[in-house]
Amino acid sequence: MNFKRLIPLGLTLVLAVFLAGHVPAAAGGPSAGADAVIAGEGCTSILVGKDASTDRSVMTTHTCDCGTCDWTWRHVPAADHKPGSTRKIYHISQYKTWPPSEGLKWDVYKKDFAGLEIPEVAHTYAYHHGMFGYMNEKQVSMGESTIGCQRKMQNPTPAAKLDLSMLTLLGIERAATAREAIQIMGSLAEKYGYGFHDDGEMLAVADAKEAWIFEIMPAGPLWTPESGKPGAVWAAQRVPDDEVSVCPNESRIGEIDLGNKDFFMASPNVVSLAVEMGYYDPKSGKPFNFKRAYSPVEGSALSTNGRIQRLWRFFDLVAPSKKFKADMPNMDLPFSVKPDKKISVQDVMAMTRDRSYGTPFDPVQGIRGGPFKNPNYYRQTRVIDHGLAEYSTVTQSRAGLPDPIGGIVWIAFGSQDTSCYMPLYAGLTEIPKSFMVGDHWTFSRDSVRWAFDYTDFHVQVAYSEAIKDVQAAQAKYEGELVMRIPEIDQQALALYKTKPAKAAEFLNGFAINNATTVTNAWWKLGDDLLVKYNRLYLYNAEKRGFSRGQPATPDWWKKAARAFDILMEPDKK
């Protein structure tokens, strides 16, 4: 997801001029050229190979970091289609929403017909989707991160019929494997043109066997289908089974070996477009490098004052023994790495909540977080959980179980640190109604997202104290459920062996009941936090009293505030 799309062009130019004198030279990418790519401030996507996880599940994540986008989800059932039928293509903006009086996004997005109908396939798979397609009944899963591209590659013209959201829906409804999804999305983008709402994008595409990073970019505003050339350029690289990778709004694919078909795929113009646009010179003697040609982002975590520190932070989290330096250029960090220890689904959930505590980019270091160490006060560094997510996903694709049971999308609405992951199995035929409603501008107790925002709002007042109450609830409603999943699997499997429809019914009931329980718990948690930390005192509802001074502002903060006052006093000489 790309925040630059949310800022009007005029304001962007004003900010650019203002910031020119305030941002370190390395932060803006290459020092020369109008095509310099600036690292995005949006979504983070993590990938875990099957042999790198504790239970041999292949995992992906997506932190849908926007702040004003639609958060609702839908289930789309499987369908058979008659020969000669067509599939309408719509322009689906990642960011556009409609007033509640007109309807929710997934009820009215068809207003933006792209003017194209493509041949329909005989059968489309059932799947769950939010902003993008996340998992289908074959355990094909996705996560997303905007990576940008060289400026003259962008194609916002009507010739580009496919943007990213539409592309993921096509891939997830048609593909039985991750490789198929990549090939489907790539070939459709080549034929019908990619861009319109989007530019450089990365998708984490996985199934129960493997995980891939798929990167796609437009082919420029002059492209037309009549040119006979591909309407997009793309490449895909497989994450080794015993390794993990991440995309934090930066292109990750470097040198490509198309002779190694087990690990690389690409569009036919992957090199020629770079030569044509002047991004690569075959006579240079240097090997072609996808990210350096199409989406170069220069600088390191240290040189950009933490603005692009997520890539370094992830590798430091999963492989501290390798001692990656914070001043290593991001372009030189590896595509993937073998973790020091195998990673569980709860480890991945914890990574989505990471705030870089204890590093030079700690958002609560010193007085940054205020008296209650609130990481949301200081947003000068970009951490994985920066508090603006619409929702976050962790997908698990697991071999050894039937696809409808093996696949799980864990979803947490709102900011990861104050939310709770809830599971949706791939074989569900319906999802909780509270997942399907709500927007940023109308408070609703019928929307699951508002329950989490309600609690989050009350946490902000006394963060360092209130977050402990949230973590206790997470341990109960999330941690204990993760431990119960093998039991749920076996119950569903027993039903599936006799009658698959009964297994789907069981999983529907499980997901809906769990979502209702968690949602009710978070509404109550918000109420309890309001009472407990009201007026910045610590009220004890059971003893019907309060302890003065708790959680009153700590002494260190009072001293810091006094020191600042002295510093700002006028010279009395």
Whether 546 maps to a domain, the answer reads no
Co-location of 393 and 450 in the same domain:
no
Co-location of 164 and 43 in the same domain:
yes
Residue for token digits 């002494």? 555
* Structural domain count of the chain: 2
pLDDT band for position 26 (cuts 50, 70, 90): very low
Co-location of 402 and 466 in the same domain:
no
- The domain boundary, picked from 531, 547, 567, lies at 531
Whether 294 maps to a domain, the answer reads yes
| pLDDT tens, position by position, 429-449 | 999 999 999 999 999 999 999
Co-location of 373 and 252 in the same domain:
yes
- Token output for 245: 């990778």
Whether 565 maps to a domain, the answer reads no
pLDDT of the residue at 15: 30
pLDDT band for position 560 (cuts 50, 70, 90): confident
Co-location of 387 and 477 in the same domain:
no
- The domain boundary, picked from 412, 444, 461, lies at 412
| pLDDT tens, position by position, 270-299 | 999 999 999 999 999 999 999 999 999 999
Whether 276 maps to a domain, the answer reads yes
Tell me the C-alpha distance between 160 and 259, whole Å.
Answer: 30
HSE (side-chain half, CA atoms, 13 Å) at 367: 12
User: CA nearest 518: which of 467, 468, 482, 465?
Assistant: 482
Whether 451 maps to a domain, the answer reads yes
Co-location of 92 and 47 in the same domain:
yes
Whether 560 maps to a domain, the answer reads no
- In 141-219, where do the E strands start and end? 141-146, 201-206, 211-218
Co-location of 221 and 256 in the same domain:
yes
Q: Give the structural domain span for 504.
A: 434-531
User: CA nearest 418: which of 376, 372, 474?
Assistant: 474
| Averaged pLDDT of the chain | 91
Cβ neighbours for 457, distance < 8 A, ≥ 6 positions apart: 526
pLDDT band for position 153 (cuts 50, 70, 90): very high
Co-location of 451 and 354 in the same domain:
no
CB neighbours of residue 565 within 10 Å: 9
Is 511 in a helix, a strand, or coil? helix
Whether 177 maps to a domain, the answer reads yes
Co-location of 283 and 353 in the same domain:
yes
Co-location of 248 and 341 in the same domain:
yes
pLDDT band for position 7 (cuts 50, 70, 90): very low
Provide the H-helix boundaries in 295-407. Answer: 310-318, 345-352, 403-406
Whether 564 maps to a domain, the answer reads no
Co-location of 386 and 348 in the same domain:
yes
Co-location of 400 and 455 in the same domain:
no
Residue for token digits 């940023």? 440
